Amino acid sequence: MAEVQNSPGQTPGFTTELLDCWKQLPNKAFFLILLAAWCLLFQFLGNATFGYINSSSLFMWMANAYDKGDRSDEYGFLIPFVVLVLFWWKRKELLALPNRTWSPALLLIVFALALHIAGYIVQQPRISIVALFVGIYALTGLAWGPKWMMASFFPFFLFTFCLPLSSIAEPVTFPMRLLVSKTVAGVAPMLGVNVQREGTQLFNTLHTYQYEVAAACSGLRSVIAIFCISTIYAFVNFEQYWKRGVLVLSAIPLALLSNVIRMLCIIIAAEISGQEAGNFVHENWLISLLPYIPPSLAS
């Protein structure tokens, strides 16, 4: 059968370009065998905390942590796909490197293995998650060399967002909850809404509505999501490190501001039409996107 050729000036299709990149990539069998062995370790000897999930698989533990009812860590499911997209975006740069096997990467693999053993012994799966991704990063260095590791550090850095934090973040979320509730209680009277605050609870004097600024409304989820988006945008669009830093650090105040605006919308709706109207605004998926509008405009 004759091979199909692209006409001059025609952009090759995704499948064609993917196969072409795959052919150009050296040591892929070597890397895939090591990657499979590394992942099998975490599949069968990855999790020691059987009180939380009855499985020795770290991947099952991660999926269970991401699938909590408050959805605070569900973005962990998306990060691997984001990393793959960024690797595809950097494919020409990576394939142009003088790729070679690099034995010093074994030291990082040994470190990742020791980190996992420590996490397994003390029953801290989050330590093992760090070890998992550090090990994968080290395997790429072993297969393709130090320049590959330098060029791919940013995509791998995003695996940081695979760490589930909601269950251990109370020391952070409670001050954020107080800050959001105090700010809403201070701003609402300026808008003609008489709101009382008690701790993290917000209500009017007649008690026709009452809301709790819960952990999910504190801004932590928005901070993490916006921090991730800002990090990607900064590294993709800016070369200067100070510009990247400013954009990334702006995620924290922008997320808190956006959650204050969202809570104000809930309170105003409840003031006008009662608790059910406020509940509608709280549950509406379109309005829940409010925390991401100011950061998008700022970017």
Is the pLDDT reported for residue 124 higher than 70? Answer: yes
Structure tokens at 205: 């004097």
Task: Give the pLDDT of residue 137.
Answer: 98
Token pair 């952070």 is at which residue? 172
Mean pLDDT value across the chain: 85
The one-character DSSP state at 7 is P
Task: Give the pLDDT of residue 54.
Answer: 85
Band (pLDDT 50/70/90 cuts) for residue 230 is confident
**Interatomic CA distance for residues 244 and 246, integer angstroms:** 6
Of the candidates 166, 251, 267, the one whose C-alpha atom is nearest the C-alpha of residue 213 is 267
Say if CB 202 and CB 195 are below 8 A apart: yes
**Interatomic CA distance for residues 48 and 219, integer angstroms:** 31
Residue 13 or 36, more confident: 36
Q: What are phi and psi of 198, to 5 degrees?
A: -135, 105
Say if CB 293 and CB 226 are below 8 A apart: no
Residue 34 or 75, more confident: 34
Mean pLDDT value across residues 21-43: 96
Mean pLDDT value across residues 235-261: 82
Mean pLDDT value across residues 252-256: 80
**Interatomic CA distance for residues 167 and 221, integer angstroms:** 12
The residues pairing with 198 across neighbouring beta strands, listed in sequence order, are 201
What pTM was estimated for this model as a whole?
0.82
Q: Which positions ≥6 away from 286 have C-beta within 8 Å?
A: none
E-strand stretches of the chain:
195-198, 201-204, 210-212
Domain boundaries of the chain, sorted by first residue: 27-164, 170-298
> What percentage of the chain carries pLDDT values higher than 70?
86
| H/E stretch holding 39 | helix 28-44
**Interatomic CA distance for residues 232 and 221, integer angstroms:** 17
Q: What is the pLDDT of residues 159-208, one digit of tens each?
A: 999 998 876 766 777 788 888 889 999 999 998 888 999 988 898 888 88
Residue 11 or 281, more confident: 281
Mean pLDDT value across residues 128-150: 97
Band (pLDDT 50/70/90 cuts) for residue 25 is very high
The three-point CA angle 210-213-219 to 5° equals 150
**Interatomic CA distance for residues 176 and 199, integer angstroms:** 12
Say if CB 102 and CB 140 are below 8 A apart: no
Is the pLDDT reported for residue 47 higher than 70? Answer: yes
Q: What is the pLDDT of residues 68-117, one digit of tens each?
A: 755 667 888 999 999 999 999 999 999 999 999 999 999 999 999 999 99
